[in-house]
């Protein structure tokens, strides 16, 4: 009777949320249905037909459908919507590249796909193709992308990445049009483990440079390719995120992409206290730029000593 109890809880949640919105009658109907489920002597999953469910007192077509939806997908979209969730799609499913909320929702409804593992299984069994809007190519692409999710949520010991990073910087620096190139992110902060390799590049011809880097031999799969950002995976599976910026923006961008996130927040707060604004483009007073060229310039303007990347925490020295 686990289903009955669970669905009853969800129906009561719907009732409460509708009530909050000032909806008449419906809350009472949902509560009545919840009570019926709670008192029901057999599990609702044993009702195979919609018509059977509708035969129960207090359960009309709309609620019967929601019960079936729950049995199939373990969710009720209407409730998710009321809760303001992102279409009710578990965040992990949203981490699969090429899967937007709409498609994710569609897969959830049609095949009961909830997790990345569900998606990998269904795609592997060829169940996606044939659904409206899903081609065989799309199915193959999603299958490949599910494999990347676990790789991407994996963290790599910094030690293991040192050679990769050295090669990466050397090769990128030798690309024509690259003026400066440095590693940022957690690698620069010397964290023990690193989630991805963040790289900052200065160039005046971002498009050409981005194209040239994408063709370097160690690039496995390019996942984003533009003139502001280029992302790809190395053979080891680690993601590389390259940001291309203009020369004047170097310091502000390096500071921003080095993090930590907490350090950036603390710096931004300090800027705000002075009536300024700090972002990846620079430190500004209104439209006027105060500092941006080098990290040192920004620390100085904020009356802070230069902070080594490894020390960039939420506490400002
Ligand atoms: N950053 C940000 N906002 C974004 C993207 C990035 O503020 N939308 C900044 C963060 O301050 C972060 C840095 O860019 O420190 C790098 O981002 P990310 O790779 O997500 O974090 P890391 O600190 O490098 O940690 P991880 O090892 O998980 O990559
Ligand atoms: Mn990073």
CATH number assigned to the domain comprising residue 253: 3.30.210.10
Say how many Å lie between the CA of residue 154 and the centre of ligand 2: 12
Rounded Cα distance, 278 and 271, in Å: 6
Largest CA distance in the chain: 75
Q: Residue length, the chain? A: 317
Do 290 and 214 reside in the same domain of the chain? no
What contacts 223, CB < 8 A, 6 or more positions away? 97, 231, 232, 233, 239
Q: Quick one: pLDDT band at residue 9, thresholds 50, 70, 90?
A: confident
Tell whether 6 and 148 lie within a shared domain. yes
CA 257 / ligand 2 centre spacing (Å):
8
- Residues 219-253: pLDDT tens digits? 988 989 999 999 999 988 899 999 999 999 999 99
Q: How many domains would you assign to the chain?
A: 3
Q: What is the mean pLDDT of residues 4-16?
A: 89
Report yes or no on 84 lying in a domain.
yes
Residues 48 and 178 both lie in one domain? no
| pLDDT tops 60 at residue 134 | yes
**274: phi > 0 → left, psi -120 to 50 → alpha, else beta; which?**
alpha
Give the CATH number of the domain where residue 210 resides: 3.30.460.10
Look at residues 4, 5, 31, 32 and name the one whose alpha carbon lies nearest to residue 18.
31
Question: Over 90: is that where the pLDDT of 182 sits?
Answer: yes
pLDDT for res 91: 62
Query: 119: how many CB neighbours lie within 10 A of its CB?
Result: 26
Write the residue with the smallest CA distance to atom 15 of ligand 1: 259
Among 206, 229, 245, give the residue marking a domain's end: 245
Q: What CATH number should be reported for the domain holding residue 117?
A: 1.10.150.110
Q: Is the pLDDT of residue 77 over 60?
A: yes
Residue 38 shares a structural domain with residue 55: yes
182, 256, 281, 307, best to mutate for ligand 1 pocket (most atoms within 8 Å of CB): 256
| CA 264 to ligand 1 center in whole angstroms | 10
- Pocket of ligand 1, beta carbon within 6 A: 185-186, 194-196, 198, 256-257, 259-261, 264
Residue 147 in this model has a pLDDT that exceeds 90 = no
Q: Are residues 237 and 132 in the same domain?
A: no
In a domain, 188, yes or no: no
pLDDT at 85 over 60: no
Q: Are residues 107 and 124 in the same domain?
A: yes
Asked if 70 and 118 sit in the same domain, the reply is: yes
Q: Is residue 300 part of a domain?
A: yes
Within a domain: residue 100? Answer: yes
Enclosing domain of residue 37: 2-153
Does one domain contain both 52 and 139?
Answer: yes
Looking at the CA of residue 196, tell me the nearest atom of ligand 1: 29
Q: Is the pLDDT of residue 86 over 50?
A: no
165 found inside a domain: no
pLDDT of residue 90: 67
Cα 40 to ligand 1 centre (Å): 51
Can you tell me which atom of ligand 1 is nearest the CA of 260?
15
Q: Select from 158, 148, 73 the least CA-distant residue to 110.
A: 73
Instruction: Tell me which of 158, 261, 280 to substitute to probe ligand 1's pocket, judged by most ligand atoms within 8 Å of the beta carbon.
Output: 261
Residue 69 lies in a domain: yes
DSSP code, position 131: B
Helix, strand, coil % over all residues of the chain, rounded to 5: 50, 15, 35
Nearest ligand, CA 278: 1
Letter string b/e over residues 16-46, b meaning 16 or more CB atoms within 10 A of that residue's CB: ebbeeeeeeeebebbbbbbebbeebeeebee
Residues 6 or more apart whose Cβ sits within 8 Å of residue 114 = 73, 74, 75, 90, 93, 108
The predicted pLDDT at position 17 comes to 78
Residue 138 pLDDT greater than 60, yes or no: yes
Residues 63 and 137 in one domain: yes
More confident call, 1 vs 44: 44
> pTM for this one?
0.62
Q: What is the mean pLDDT of residues 75-89?
A: 72
Per-residue exposure over 256-290, b if at least 16 CB sit within 10 Å of its own CB, e if not: bbbbbeebbebbbeebeeeebbbebbbbbeeeeeb
Helices 61-73 & 101-111 angle (0-180, nearest 10): 100
158 lies in some domain: no
* DSSP β-bridge partners for residue 284: 277, 289
User: Which ligand has its closest atom nearest to the C-alpha of 156?
Assistant: 1
The band of 89, judged by pLDDT with boundaries at 50, 70 and 90, is low
Q: What is the pLDDT of residue 152?
A: 65
State the average pLDDT for the chain: 91
Q: 133 and 6 share a domain? A: yes
> Do residues 259 and 230 both lie within one domain?
no
Q: Are residues 80 and 149 in the same domain?
A: yes
């Amino acid at each position: 009777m686990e289903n009955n109890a669970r669905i009853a809880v969800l129906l009561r949640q719907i009732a409460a949320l509708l009530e909050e919105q000032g909806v008449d009658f419906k809350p009472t109907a949902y509560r009545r249905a919840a009570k019926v489920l709670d008192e029901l002597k057999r599990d609702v999953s044993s009702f195979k037909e919609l018509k059977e469910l509708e035969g129960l007192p207090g359960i009309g077509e709309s609620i019967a459908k929601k019960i079936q939806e729950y049995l199939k997908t373990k969710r009720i979209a209407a409730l998710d919507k009321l809760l303001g969730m992102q279409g009710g799609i578990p965040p992990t499913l949203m981490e699969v590249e090429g899967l937007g909320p709409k498609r994710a929702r569609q897969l959830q409804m049609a095949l009961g796909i909830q997790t990345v593992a569900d998606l990998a299984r269904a795609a592997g069994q060829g169940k996606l193709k044939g659904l409206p809007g899903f081609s065989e190519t799309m199915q193959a692409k999603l299958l490949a992308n599910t494999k990347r999710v676990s790789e991407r949520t994996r963290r790599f010991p910094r030690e293991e990445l040192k050679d990769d990073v050295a090669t990466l910087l050397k090769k990128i620096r030798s690309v024509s049009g690259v003026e400066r190139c440095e590693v940022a992110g957690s690698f620069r902060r010397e964290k023990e483990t690193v989630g991805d390799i963040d790289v900052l590049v200065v160039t005046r011809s971002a498009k050409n440079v981005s194209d040239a880097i994408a063709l370097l031999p160690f690039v496995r799969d390019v996942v984003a390719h533009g003139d502001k950002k280029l992302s790809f995976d190395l053979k080891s599976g680690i993601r590389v995120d390259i940001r291309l910026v203009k020369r004047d923006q170097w310091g502000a961008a390096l500071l921003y992409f080095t993090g930590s996130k907490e350090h950036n927040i603390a710096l931004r707060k300090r800027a705000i206290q002075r009536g300024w604004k700090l972002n990846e483009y620079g430190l500004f007073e209104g439209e006027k730029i105060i500092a941006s060229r080098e990290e040192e310039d920004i620390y100085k303007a904020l009356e802070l000593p230069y902070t080594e990347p490894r020390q960039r925490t939420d506490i400002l020295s």
